[in-house]
Chain A
Amino acid sequence: MTHDLLVCEDLQVVYADGTAALRGVHLTLGAGIVGLVGANGAGKTTLLRVLAGILAPSAGRALIGGRSAIAHRVAVGVGSIPDAARLPAYLTVEGFLDGLRRAAGSPGETAVEAEIRHALDIDGLAQRPLPALSLGQRRRVELAAALIGDPDLLLLDEPTNGLDPLAMTALRSGLRAARRRDRLIIVSSHHLDELQRIADWIVLMHEGRIVASEAAAAMLARGPSLEEVFMTAAGGAGA
C-alpha cells in the first residue's frame, strides 16, 4: 500500500455538548480496501464524516490527494453513503442513479460503473421505485450510487448491517469490482470476519484515537482472528 492518498494530522472533533469524538487522529493511507474497526463510540462514523467533507474538524486537518476533505468533496465529489439518510422516496432506481451521474458531471454510465452494477446484481431494478426495494437491494443501490463519478475515495459506514448472506455476497462482489489501483475504500464494520475477507489494511480505533494501523496480513499474524487482535489492542489502549 502506498501511503499518499489520505493524510490526517492531529484530527480532533469536539461536539457542542463537549463530547470529544476524535482526540488527535494521525493516519496515512494509500489505495486499497481499509477496514475501520472499533467499538460503538470509538469515533469511526465521525472520522468518516470528516473525510467525506460534511463535518469540519475542530482542530487538525484531513487531506485527500493534497486537498482538504471539504475542498475535495466540492471539487470532485466523494463516494459515500450518507449516514442516517434515506433514499429519495419519489425516484426510481434509474432516476436516482442517473440524477447523481448528472450531478457528478458524468456524460453517461462508464464501463466500470456498468461492471459494478452487474456485480451488485441491480440490473433488473432500474424501474423499481426506491421505497419498494428490500434492505439488501437498497444497500446495493446505495453502493452503486456511492461509486458514481468514479471517486478516488469511497467511504462506507456499516454497509453490511442487517444484510442476509446472499446480499452480503453481492455487496462483497461489488466492493471487489470497485477496487482499483488508485482508489481508497474505507469500510467501517462490526462484522470483523467480513472485513478480514476483503481488507488489505486494518485500522483499529478506540475512544477517538487510532490504536493500530497496519496491513491486514500482519495484523492477523498477531492473533487467531481480527476479533482477538482488536480485543487485545482495545484492552491495551484502555488500560
Chain B
Amino acid sequence: MPERVPLHWHLARWRREAPGPRGLLWIAAVTLLLMLPVERFGADLSWATQARILVNLGVALAAIAIGRDAGRPDDAERWLLLQGQSPADWALARWVANLLPLALLAVLWAAIVFTVTALTQEQPMPWSGVLGLALHLALTAMLLTLILLTLGCLGARQTAEGMMLLLILTFLLPLVADRLPAVVADGARLVLPPLDAIATFRDAATDGAWRELLNAALRLATWSGVLLALALTAANRRVPARPSRVSVTSG
C-alpha cells in the first residue's frame, strides 16, 4: 500500500532548511521587539493593544515568508508524481507543514506578550486573553497560508501581492459597503477572507458566547473548506499538463 510521503518530506525540509539562520534572526527580532515595553504606535493605544498589532503583522509576514511558494510545482513533488502520488497530496501536506510552525510561533508570541504584561503592566493580561491571542494568530496564519496556497495552485506568480490585495479589500469593505449595491457588498463579504469571523470567534471563545462561536466557526470552516477544495482541485489539474487542444494534421 503506497504511503503518503509528502508530509514526511516537508517535515524533513523544515528540520534541514527552515526557518534557517535568516528566519531565526527575524523571529528573534520580532520577539525582542515584543519584549520591550515601550510605546510604538502612539500614546492612545495600550501596550497590550500595540503588542497585538505587532504580532498580527509578524504572523502575516511569517506566513508570506513561509507560504508564498506553497502552491507552485516543486522538485521533490515531481519525483513523487512519477510514483503515482497526486499533486493535491503534496499541496495539502505542504500547507499543513507550513501551518504547524506558524501555530507554534503564535503560541510563543502570545506567551511573551502575557509574560511582559505580567511583569511590567499594572493590569496584566488575563489567561483567557492570552489563549484568545494565540487562537487569533493561529487562525489568521491558517487563512493567510491558505490564500497563498490557493493563489499558487491557481498559477499566480505574485501570491504575496495577491494576498495583500485581498486583505486591503477586506479592510476597505466596511468603509465602502454602504455605498455599494447590497448584492455586491454581500457578495464581497462572502468572497473576501473572513478576518472579522476570527475576531468574533476569539471573543466568543473567551466570553463563552457559544452561539456566536458556532456561527463564526461555521463561517471560517466553510470559507476555508471551499478555498482548500479549490486549491487541491487546481493542483490536480496541473498534472498532466495540457499543452493545447489544437491538433496538427499528420502525414
Query: Could you tell me the distance between the alpha carbons of A13 and B3 in the complex, rounded to whole angstroms?
Result: 33
- CB contacts under 8 Å to B, within A1-41, are 10, 12-16, 20-21, 23-24
Which 4 residue pairs of A and B lie closest in terms of their CB atoms, listed nearest first? A24-B250, A59-B247, A90-B16, A88-B76
Q: Which of A75, A82, A105 has a CB less than 8 Å from the CB of B78? A: A82
**Bound Cα distance A54, B240 (Å):** 4
A96-104, A117-125, A174-182: which lies at the B interface?
A: A96-104
A87 sits at the interface (CB 8 A)? yes
A193 CB to nearest chain B CB (Å)? 29
What's the minimum C-beta distance from B19 to chain A, rounded to whole angstroms?
Answer: 13
Q: How many residues of B contact A (CB 8 A)?
A: 35
Contact with A along B71-105 (1 / 0, CB 8 A): 00001101111111110000000000000000000
Complex CA distance for A13 and B243, rounded to whole angstroms: 7
Quick check: is B17 within 8 A (CB to CB) of the other chain? yes
Are A91's CB and B12's CB within 8 A? yes
Size category of the A interface is: 35 or more
Interface 1/0s, chain A 83-113, versus B by CB < 8 A?
Answer: 0011111110001100110111100000000
| A residues whose Cβ falls under 8 Å from a Cβ of B | 10, 12-16, 20-21, 23-24, 52-56, 58-60, 70, 73-80, 82, 85-91, 95-96, 99-100, 102-105, 145-146, 148-149, 209
Contact (Cβ within 8 A) B248 A24: yes
Q: Are B248 and A77 in contact (CB under 8 A)?
A: no
* A-side contacts of B83, CB under 8 Å: 77, 100, 103-104, 148-149
Given the interface pairs A12-B250, A15-B244, the reply to whether A88 lies near B84 with Cβ below 8 Å is no
Q: Are A54 and B17 in contact (CB under 8 A)?
A: no
Encode contact with A along B128-141: 1 for CB under 8 Å, 0 otherwise: 00000000000000
In the bound complex, how far is the Cα of B1 from the Cα of A53, in angstroms? 21
Interface string of B1-44 (1 = CB under 8 A from A): 11101001100110111000000000000000000000000000
B238 → chain A closest CB, angstroms: 10
A89 to B17: give the CA distance in the assembly, Å. 9
Query: Within the complex, which residue of A14, A73, A82 is in contact with B79, where a contact is CB–CB below 8 Å?
Result: A82
Q: Are B9 and A99 in contact (CB under 8 A)?
A: yes
Q: Which of B82, B239, B246, B251 is the most central at the interface, judged by chain A CB atoms within 10 Å of its CB?
A: B82
Secondary structure class of chain B's binding surface, majority of residues: loop
Minimum CB–CB distance for A179 against chain B, Å: 20
Residues in A whose Cβ lies below 8 Å from that of B3: 102-103, 105
- Asked whether A14 lies within 8 Å of B246 as measured between CB atoms, the reply is yes
Establish whether residues A55 and B245, one from each chain, have CB atoms under 8 Å apart when the complex forms: no
In Å, the complex CA distance between A23 and B249 comes to: 7
Residue from the list B12, B239, B243 in contact with A95, Cβ < 8 A: B12
Q: Given A103-B83, A104-B83, check contact A58 B245 (CB 8 Å).
A: yes
Task: Tell me, rounded to whole Å, the shortest Cβ–Cβ distance linking A146 to chain B.
Answer: 8
> How many angstroms from the CA of A23 to the CA of B79 in the assembled complex?
28
The one of A14, A77, A88, A209 that contacts B244, using a Cβ cutoff of 8 Å: A14
Q: In the complex, given contacts A10-B250, A209-B250, what are 12 additional A-B residue pairs having Cβ atoms less than 8 angstroms apart?
A: A15-B244, A54-B78, A55-B240, A56-B242, A59-B247, A77-B84, A85-B79, A88-B76, A99-B9, A103-B84, A104-B83, A149-B83
In the complex the two chains form, is B9's CB within 8 Å of A88's CB? yes
The chain B residue sitting closest to A68, CB to CB, is: B240
28 A-B residue pairings within 8 Å (CB atoms): A12-B247, A14-B243, A20-B248, A23-B248, A23-B250, A24-B250, A52-B82, A54-B78, A54-B239, A54-B240, A55-B241, A59-B248, A73-B81, A77-B82, A78-B82, A79-B82, A82-B79, A82-B82, A85-B78, A85-B79, A88-B76, A90-B13, A96-B79, A102-B2, A103-B3, A103-B84, A105-B1, A149-B83
Across the interface, name the chain A residue whose C-beta is closest to B13. Answer: A90
